[in-house]
């Protein structure tokens, strides 16, 4: 009895399906665009990171070169100081021999 007076309204499934299809296509397209953007962005970020690493590596190499030059300069200074000390010690030895020889010559000349 109730069924006689009841009106069933069927939803327009075709319209909903089309709407859902459009949304799905839109979402898929948006996801594809997002993926492209992320890849591009990731690529740009990776490129920037590589560039920064390259700059960092250049700076490290430059610092290493400076350190090598400083060590070489220091080594050269040490060698020069050693050679000066060696020359001074030779001069002192020669001076002491000369003074001994001079003293001996003076003693022989006096006597």
Q: Output the pLDDT for position 56.
A: 78
CA quadruple 66, 71, 75, 78: dihedral, nearest 10: 100
Q: Output the pLDDT for position 4.
A: 55
pTM comes to 0.38
pLDDT by residue for the chain (111 residues), tens only, comes to 444 555 545 455 555 555 556 666 666 777 777 677 767 766 677 677 777 777 777 888 888 888 888 888 888 888 888 888 888 888 888 777 777 777 777 777 655
């Amino acid at each position: 009895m109730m069924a006689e007076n009841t009106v069933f309204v069927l939803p327009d499934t075709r319209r909903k399906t089309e709407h859902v299809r459009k949304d799905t296509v839109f979402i898929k397209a948006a996801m594809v665009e997002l993926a492209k953007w992320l890849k591009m962005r990731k690529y740009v970020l990776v490129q920037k990171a590589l560039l920064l690493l390259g700059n960092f590596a250049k700076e490290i190499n430059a610092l290493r070169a400076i350190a090598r030059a400083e060590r070489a300069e220091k080594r050269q200074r040490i060698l020069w100081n050693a050679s000066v000390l060696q020359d001074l010690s030779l001069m002192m030895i020669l001076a002491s021999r000369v003074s001994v020889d001079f003293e001996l010559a003076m003693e022989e000349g006096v006597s």
